[in-house]
Amino acid sequence: RPTTRSPTTSPTPTECVEIGSPQFETSGCCRTENEGFGTFTEFTSGSAPACKSLCTADPLCMGAEYNAQTQVCELHTDIAAFHHTGIGGDCAPVRCFQCQTPTPTTAPTDE
């Protein structure tokens, strides 16, 4: 008789974690290893929590960047954008959040 373990539950969005240096008030712009911007879609959002919510509602979103001055929310679909953050200048009012959702597993069957 085969034994089957139960699959994990469907993924639920995890809390987005701000990345960057803790000594600064904001984390700065999300950047790739080569100082690139990554792949993202831009939205207008009234707050960082609202921007993070847009990301956690999108299964393709890996993280978000929020600019408090312009109220621009970037939803990033490439994990490469979270290598490090750019600080100062235009990045001064910006916060970078990495958001990940665990992938559900399927039940293995031993036969």
Q: Name the token pair of 68.
A: 């408090």
Residues 6+ apart with CB under 8 A from 42: 72, 73, 74
Give per-residue pLDDT as tens, 33-42: 898 999 999 9
Q: C-alpha 72: how far from its chain's center?
A: 15
What pTM does this model have?
0.75
pLDDT digits (tens, 9 = 90+) for 45-99: 999 999 999 999 998 999 999 999 999 999 999 888 888 888 888 998 999 999 8
Q: Quick one: DSSP state of residue 20?
A: S
Q: Could you tell me which of 45, 44, 31 has the C-alpha nearest to residue 78?
A: 31
